[in-house]
Chain A
Amino acid sequence: MTDPFDILGVEPRFDLDLRALEQRHRDLSRALHPDRYAGAPAAERRLALGRAIETNDALRVLRDPIRRADALLQRAGIARGEEGEQKASPALLMEMMESREELSEAAKRGDPARIARLGGAMRAREQATLAAIQAAFAAAGNDPEQLKGVLAMLSELRYIRRFLDEVSAIEEELADQT
C-alpha cells in the first residue's frame, strides 16, 4: 500500500484539513510506537516499524501541495511521467526567464528591497496558483480528462517554487555577508 491517503486513512482530496491530518498521523504513530511492540514477536515488531515509517512518508507527501496533487492524480491513473509531463507555455517560460533575470540582477547589485519585492510578487502568484489548482480539483471530480488540466498548473507551480527557492538562497547569502 503506497497511496498516502490510504496509509493515513484520510479522504483523498486536495483541500485537506491539515490539522486533522497531523492529528491522524499522531494517533497512528502512537499506536505503532516501538514501545508498544516491545514484547511482540520480531516479525510483528518489524511490521509495525515499517508501517510507522510509511506513515511518516505519507505525511510528508500530503503536507506538500505539489506532492499531494501528484498523489491524487496518480490515484486517478494519471501519471506524471515523461509522457504526461506538460510542456510549459511559451508565455510562462518567457515570464519565468525574465523574472529569473531580474532576480539575478537584483542579487548581483545586492538590492534586498528589490529581492523582497520580487519574492513577494511570486508568493502571491503561488497562492493564486494553489487556489486555481484547488478549484480545478473540485470541478474535475473523477473525470480524468478534466484532471489532466491540473498537470499544467502543477508544472507552473514548480517553476514558481524554483524561483522562490532561489529567492531564499539569495536572501541567505546576503544575510551571511552582512
Chain B
Amino acid sequence: MAYSDKVIEHYENPLNVGTLDKNDEQVGTGLVGAPACGDVMRLQIKVGEGGVIEDAKFKTFGCGSAIASSSLATEWLKGKTIDEAETIKNSMIAEELHLPPVKIHCSVLAEDAIKSAIADFRAKQQAKRELTGAAPSGAAKSAASASAE
C-alpha cells in the first residue's frame, strides 16, 4: 500500500511535535490508543482568551498515517475556538490525507484525541469554577467567571 504525498509530507516533517505542560489549567490533554494495533497518541491544546486554541502539540507512536493525522489535526486546531474544534471529523482528516480504507482508523484516533483533549480542558475549567464558586453567591459568580474566560 502506498502512502499519499500528503501523508509522507506530514510524516517526514511532522508539525507541532512536542509537549505542553499538562498541569497548566489552560492546557487540555487527550491520550488515546488504537487497541487493534497498539498505537498511542497524545494531543494537547492550549486555550486562551475567548476559548481560542493558541497552541497545539502532539506525540504519536504509530504508523505514518497516524502521525500524519495527528500532525494535520494540530495544524487545523490552532486559531480555532474549542467549539469549532469539536466539529472536526475524522472523515475530513481522512479526505485531506487521502487515507485508504485500512487507514481510516488512524483518522478516527486523531478525532478521538481532539475530543478527549477538549473534554480534559473543559473538566479543568469546570473544576476551577466549582472551586471559585463555592461561596453562597456561587451561581452568579461562576457564571461571571465563565464568561470572563
Contacts and interface: CB of A to CB of B under 8 A. Distances in A.
B59 A101 contact: yes
A97 B38 contact: no
Contact of A93 (B36, B37, B40, B59): B40
B115 interface: no
State the majority secondary structure of interface residues on B: strand
Interface in A93-121: 93-94, 96-97, 100-101, 104
A60 to B, nearest CB: 18
Interface string B35-78: 11111101000000000000000010100000000000000000
Interface stretch (A10-18, A46-54, A158-166): A158-166
Given A90-B31, A166-B61, A97 B37 contact: no
Interface residues of B, number: 12
B117 interface: no
B31 A162 contact: no
Contacts of A90: 31
Contact of B31 (A94, A159, A163, A166): A94
B32 interface: yes
| Residue among B38, B42, B61 with the highest chain A CB neighbour number at 10 A | B38
B14 interface: no
Interface string A147-168: 0000000010011111100100
Nearest to B62: A162
A125 to B, nearest CB: 13
B33 interface: yes
A158 B38 contact: yes
B31 A85 contact: no
Nearest to B108: A82
A134 interface: no
A97 B36 contact: no
A101 B35 CA distance: 18
Nearest to A165: B38
Contact of B61 (A87, A92, A104, A161): A104
Nearest to A158: B38
A86 interface: yes
A88 interface: yes
A85 B105 CA distance: 12
Nearest to A94: B31
Contacts of A97: 31, 40, 42, 59, 61
Contacts of A162: 37-39, 61
B59 A88 contact: no
Q: Shortest 6 CB-CB distances between A and B: which pairs?
A: A162-B38, A155-B35, A100-B61, A159-B38, A158-B38, A88-B33
